[in-house]
Amino acid sequence: KIHSSLPFAFLLAAGSVSFYEIRKHYRLHALSTDDSIPTTPKGPLIVDNQKPLIEKVPYSKQYNFIADVVEHVAPAVVHIEVDLDPVSYYGHFSSSYGTTNGSGFIINETGLLLTNAHVVRNKKNVKIKLNNGQRFTGTVQYVDMVADLAVVQIDSPDQKLPYLELGNSDTIRAGEHCIAVGSPLALSNTVTAGIVSNVGRTSSELGLFGRDINYIQTDCMITSGNSGGPL
């Protein structure tokens, strides 16, 4: 059983709904200096064999926090495929069907997942692919077109699945790191990163009238197919 204990929060961003905000706090440390300007020593410079005031942080721990987060949450991120209805031309149905793609994430071990309403469209059943390659069918249980949210149950009898926990979006701050994991352009398990650009964007600011919803703005690269995935 893989279970993420990182805090997450609902958010909607840049035309796709990204549901989770993965947070970690990092601090920059600087050496304090004397106010006086040092002068050139008159004699030879003697350096004592002392430990540095600040221990050097290993490169991997200093810069690979994104990889650590992705490794932790990726097993609960899914790729979603939805079969399209045949297209009607002048009253005649085309024989070509095709599929559309999106993302989602599992929220409990029994296989309940969240995604966007516009990903599942008006379908009752969808195809689910896990990070490890396993494939399942999913049954759409709930759709909210205003909030653009959908709940899908993965048909995975007797198998406990990795999942993510919901967090509190009220604690998100502009400038925090954010990471998107999903299936842009049907390329599953794709990772992009950025920051939270702003919080509390109103629907009227975005031209989405009739929705009493606040949005979180991010500069994280989000493309068609990221919809429904975690941020």
Which residues, 6 or more positions from 147, have their beta carbon under 8 angstroms from its beta carbon?
117, 211, 213
**What's the mean pLDDT in 64-68?**
88
Residue 170 annotated as catalytic: no
Q: Which residue has the tokens 């967090």?
A: 167
Predicted TM-score (pTM) of the model is 0.69
pLDDT of residue 212: 78
Which of 16, 18, 103, 148 is flagged as catalytic?
148
Tokens of residue 18, six digits: 């990204």
Query: Do residues 170 and 211 lie in contact, with contact meaning Cβ atoms separated by under 8 Å?
Result: no
Q: Is residue 222's pLDDT more than 60?
A: yes
| 118 belongs to the catalytic site | yes
pLDDT at position 29: 38
C-alpha–C-alpha distance, residues 42 and 27, integer Å: 38
Residue 227 annotated as catalytic: yes
Residue type at 116? Answer: N
Domains of the chain plus CATH, in order, are 11-25+63-84+97-218 (2.40.10.120)
> Tell me: the pLDDT tens digits for 71-84?
989 999 999 999 88
Q: How many CA atoms lie within 13 A of 59 on its CB side?
A: 0
DSSP assignment letter at 220: S
Confidence of residue 57 (pLDDT cuts 50, 70, 90): low
For position 22, what pLDDT does the model report?
38
Amino acid 184: pLDDT: 86
- Report the half-sphere exposure of 42 (CA within 13 A, side-chain side): 0
Catalytically annotated residue among 118, 156, 177, 188? 118
pLDDT-based confidence at 25, cuts 50/70/90?
very low
